[in-house]
Amino acid sequence: MVINLSEKPKVLVLLAAGINRDRDAEDAFRLAGSEPERVHINDIADGRKKLKDYQILMLPGGFSFGDDIASGKVLANKLKYKLKDDLMQFIADGKLVLGVCNGFQVMVKLGILPGFDGNYMKQDVTLTHNDSGKFEDRWVYLKVNPDSKCIFTRGVEKLIYMPICHGEGKFIPRDDGVLKRLQDSNQVVVQYVDENGKFGIYPINPNGSVDHIAGICDESGRVFGMMPHPENYILRTQHPRWTREDLPDKGDGLVLFKNAVSYIKESF
């Protein structure tokens, strides 16, 4: 598919019951130079909107279906039973999928992450209750894996800083084999570290994630999910210490959205 270069890439920000960071994601994608649209899952299921008309799919944060049973589980099943074919085609077309927080939880429970061997419907990892037993809103530093194929973090060398806001963000792989494969294939994209880039225990690793993992991508690097919220650090004044530190105008999170937009412009 070819899009007119003068057109802005189109982003579908998926809405469902309990999704609540849709506007935040919309703001970030708009600021990054794309054209986001918030679309309800039912409007895709009944054909009013078509996934194929967009180049980026954003699964935003929130509490889809209240996180009842387990976070992201019910929405993952809905995607599986209502939109599986559209979703597989979207990924096969070389387009981008980003999931943040609840969106990431949905992606791992659906299985599109880590998506080993192109099997996007097998759950190999999970996100579960923080070791602290608490929901927490706290800012964290992330180290980006320079060898990862992840499109969203291309060129990001320094540590990035942004908030987590979750109760179920502890990353657990099925077993050591899965962990090793994630590491070896550089699908581990971002990890929790301290301000000097060192790993640590709580609160540096805020939820007890195995191998400090905050976000992973699929083998292609085009499907990416993370627990922290890049969309909540796009402006300088969102930083918790902007009144006392010299900071650039735009927040660390914006680059992830800009990378996605540039990639679509290059590739389509």
- Catalytic residue, chosen from 101, 150, 212, 239, is 101
166 touches 136 (CB < 8 A): yes
CB 183 within 8 A of CB 210: no
Rounded CA-CA distance 125/48 in Å is 33
**Is 180 a residue that touches other proteins (CB under 8 A)?**
no
Instruction: Give the interface segment with other proteins, choosing from 148-156, 172-180, 182-190, 215-223 (CB under 8 A).
Output: 172-180
225 forms part of the interface with other proteins (CB under 8 A): no
Residue range at the interface with other proteins (CB under 8 A); choices 25-33, 92-100, 147-155, 184-192: 25-33
Question: Known catalytic residue: 231?
Answer: yes
229 is catalytic: yes
Distances (CA, A) of 220 to 69, 91, 102, 216, 251: 31, 10, 22, 11, 26
Q: Which two tokens stand for residue 215?
A: 């976000």
| Sole binder of other proteins in the list 4, 133, 246, 248 (CB under 8 A) | 133
Q: What is the DSSP string of 62-120?
A: B-GGGG-SSTTHHHHHHHHHHSHHHHHHHHHTT-EEEEETHHHHHHHHHTTTT-GGG-T
User: Out of 12, 29, 56, 61, which residue is the one contacting other proteins (CB under 8 A)?
Assistant: 61
Name the segment binding other proteins (CB under 8 A); options: 59-67, 145-153, 184-192, 213-221.
Answer: 59-67
Asked if residues 12 and 51 have their Cβ atoms less than 8 Å apart, the reply is yes
Stretch that binds other proteins, among 5-13, 183-191, 216-224, 232-240 (CB under 8 A): 232-240
Tell which one of 9, 32, 57, 78 touches other proteins (CB under 8 A): 78
Question: Rule CB under 8 A: is residue 209 a binding residue for other proteins?
Answer: no
Does residue 139 belong to the site contacting other proteins (CB under 8 A)? yes
Pick the closest to residue 71 from 194, 265, 225, 218 (CA basis). Answer: 225
> Given the complex with other proteins, which of 41 and 144 has the nearer CB atom?
41
Residue 172 CA to residue 264 CA, distance in Å, equals 31
Query: 3-state DSSP call for residue 215?
Result: strand
> Contact positions toward other proteins, by CB under 8 A?
15, 17-21, 23-24, 27-28, 31, 40, 42-43, 46, 61-63, 65-70, 73-74, 77-78, 81-82, 109, 123-126, 128-139, 163, 165, 170, 172-174, 208, 229, 231-232, 234-235, 237-238, 240-241, 243-244
Q: Which residues are catalytic?
A: 101, 229, 231
